[in-house]
Structure 1
Amino acid sequence: MQRVLVAPSGFKESLGAAPVAEAIAAGVRRALPGVRVDIAPVADGGEGTAALLAAATGGTLRHRTVTGPVGRPVAAHWARLGGRAAGVAVVEMAAAAGLAHVPPDDRDPGRTTTFGVGELIAAALDDGAHTVLIGCGDSGTCDGGAGALQALGARILDADGAEIGHGGAELARAVRLDRSGLHPRIGAATIVVAGNPRNVLCGPRGVARVFGPQKGASPARVEELAAAMENWAAVLERDGAAAGDLRGGPVTGASGGLGAGLAAGLGALLRSRFDALLDSGLAGLDLDRRIAAADLVITAEGSIDLQTPHGKVPAEIARRARLHGTPVVALAGSLGEGAPSVHDVGIGAIASIIPVPMSLAEAVADAERLITDATERMMRMILLGGIVSGRAPRRAAVPTRRRAVALAGRPRRRG
Structure 2
Amino acid sequence: MLIAPDKFKGSLEAPAAAAALAQGWHSVRPGDELAVLPMADGGDGTLAVLAAGRPASWVTVPTVDAVGNPRLGRYLRAGDTAAVELAEICGIAGLSKLDPMGSHTLGLGIVLAAALRSGARGLVVALGGSASTDGGAGALSALGARLVGEDGRLPPGGRGLTRLVAVRADRLAPVPPDGVRVLVDVQAPLFGPSGGAFAFGPQKGADREEMLELDRGLRRLAAVLGTDPDQPGCGAAGGTGYGLAYWGGRLTPGAPTIGQLVGLPEAVRRADLVLTGEGRFDASSLTGKTCGHVLETAARSGVPALVVAGSIADEMATAAAGTGLLSLTELAGSALAAQQDPVRWLAEAGRQAAEATTR
- The residue number in structure 1 matching 2:238 is 256
Rg bigger for which structure?
A: 1
Which structure is higher in RCO with an 8 Å CA cutoff and minimum separation 6? 2
Instruction: Output the CA distance in 2 between the equivalents of 1:126 and 1:278.
Output: 28
TM-score, length of structure 2 as denominator length: 0.96
Q: Deviations over 1:210-241 (max 9, x none)?
A: 1000110011101111111111111110xxxx
**Is 2:352 aligned against 1:377?**
yes
**Is 2:91 aligned against 1:114?**
no
**Is 2:84 aligned against 1:91?**
yes
TM-score, length of structure 1 as denominator length: 0.83
- The residue number in structure 2 matching 1:147 is 138
**Is 2:257 aligned against 1:276?**
yes
- The residue number in structure 2 matching 1:318 is 295
**Matched residue SS, 2:320:** helix
The one of 328, 337, 340 equivalent to 2:305 is 328
The one of 77, 93, 110 equivalent to 1:100 is 93
Call closer, same or farther: CA 1:359–1:305 in 2, change over 3 Å.
Answer: closer
**Matched residue SS, 1:308:** helix
The one of 358, 370, 385 equivalent to 2:334 is 358
**Contact kept in structure 2, 1:46 and 1:94, CA below 8 Å:** yes
The one of 169, 172, 192 equivalent to 1:179 is 169
**Contact kept in structure 2, 1:46 and 1:135, CA below 8 Å:** yes
**Contact kept in structure 2, 1:301 and 1:314, CA below 8 Å:** yes
**Contact kept in structure 2, 1:203 and 1:247, CA below 8 Å:** no
**Contact kept in structure 1, 2:109 and 2:138, CA below 8 Å:** yes
- Shift of residue 57, structure 1, vs aligned partner: 2.6
Q: What runs of 5+ residues in structure 2 fail to find an aligned partner? A: none
Paired letter, 2:167: L
- The residue number in structure 2 matching 1:230 is 219
**Contact kept in structure 2, 1:49 and 1:92, CA below 8 Å:** yes
- Shift of residue 163, structure 1, vs aligned partner: 2.6
**Contact kept in structure 2, 1:51 and 1:79, CA below 8 Å:** no
**Contact kept in structure 2, 1:207 and 1:257, CA below 8 Å:** yes
Paired letter, 1:123: A
Runs of 4+, deviation exceeding 6 Å: none
**Contact kept in structure 1, 2:253 and 2:288, CA below 8 Å:** no
Call closer, same or farther: CA 1:365–1:56 in 2, change over 3 Å.
Answer: same
- Shift of residue 108, structure 1, vs aligned partner: 2.6
The one of 348, 367, 390 equivalent to 2:323 is 348
Call closer, same or farther: CA 1:188–1:340 in 2, change over 3 Å.
Answer: same
Paired letter, 1:94: A
Paired letter, 1:251: G
**Is 2:297 aligned against 1:297?**
no
Call closer, same or farther: CA 1:257–1:341 in 2, change over 3 Å.
Answer: farther
Aligned-residue Cα RMSD (Å) equals: 1.5
Call closer, same or farther: CA 1:337–1:201 in 2, change over 3 Å.
Answer: farther
Instruction: Output the CA distance in 2 between the equivalents of 1:14 and 1:62.
Output: 25
**Matched residue SS, 1:90:** strand
Call closer, same or farther: CA 1:159–1:356 in 2, change over 3 Å.
Answer: closer
- The residue number in structure 2 matching 1:164 is 154
- Shift of residue 342, structure 1, vs aligned partner: 4.0
Paired letter, 2:102: R
**Contact kept in structure 2, 1:300 and 1:314, CA below 8 Å:** yes
**Matched residue SS, 2:131:** coil
- The residue number in structure 1 matching 2:64 is 67
Q: Deviations over 1:226-265 (max 9, x none)?
A: 111111111110xxxx5xxx2221111111111111111x
**Contact kept in structure 1, 2:185 and 2:289, CA below 8 Å:** no
Paired letter, 1:259: G
Paired letter, 1:91: V
Q: What runs of 5+ residues in structure 1 fail to find an aligned partner? A: 385-415
- Shift of residue 356, structure 1, vs aligned partner: 4.2
**Contact kept in structure 2, 1:51 and 1:61, CA below 8 Å:** no
Instruction: Output the CA distance in 1 between the equivalents of 2:210 and 2:186.
Output: 25
- Shift of residue 126, structure 1, vs aligned partner: 1.0
**Contact kept in structure 1, 2:41 and 2:185, CA below 8 Å:** no
Paired letter, 1:178: R
**Contact kept in structure 2, 1:200 and 1:252, CA below 8 Å:** yes
**Matched residue SS, 2:240:** helix
Call closer, same or farther: CA 1:125–1:146 in 2, change over 3 Å.
Answer: same
**Is 2:28 aligned against 1:28?**
no
**Contact kept in structure 1, 2:75 and 2:83, CA below 8 Å:** yes
Instruction: Output the CA distance in 2 between the equivalents of 1:56 and 1:374.
Output: 24
Call closer, same or farther: CA 1:139–1:375 in 2, change over 3 Å.
Answer: same
Call closer, same or farther: CA 1:309–1:271 in 2, change over 3 Å.
Answer: same
Instruction: Output the CA distance in 1 between the equivalents of 2:254 and 2:58.
Output: 20
- Shift of residue 51, structure 1, vs aligned partner: 2.7
**Contact kept in structure 2, 1:155 and 1:163, CA below 8 Å:** no
**Contact kept in structure 1, 2:234 and 2:240, CA below 8 Å:** yes
**Matched residue SS, 1:302:** strand
Instruction: Output the CA distance in 1 between the equivalents of 2:48 and 2:2.
Output: 20
The one of 69, 73, 82 equivalent to 1:76 is 73
**Matched residue SS, 1:11:** coil
Instruction: Output the CA distance in 2 between the equivalents of 1:203 and 1:367.
Output: 38
Instruction: Output the CA distance in 1 between the equivalents of 2:166 and 2:295.
Output: 45
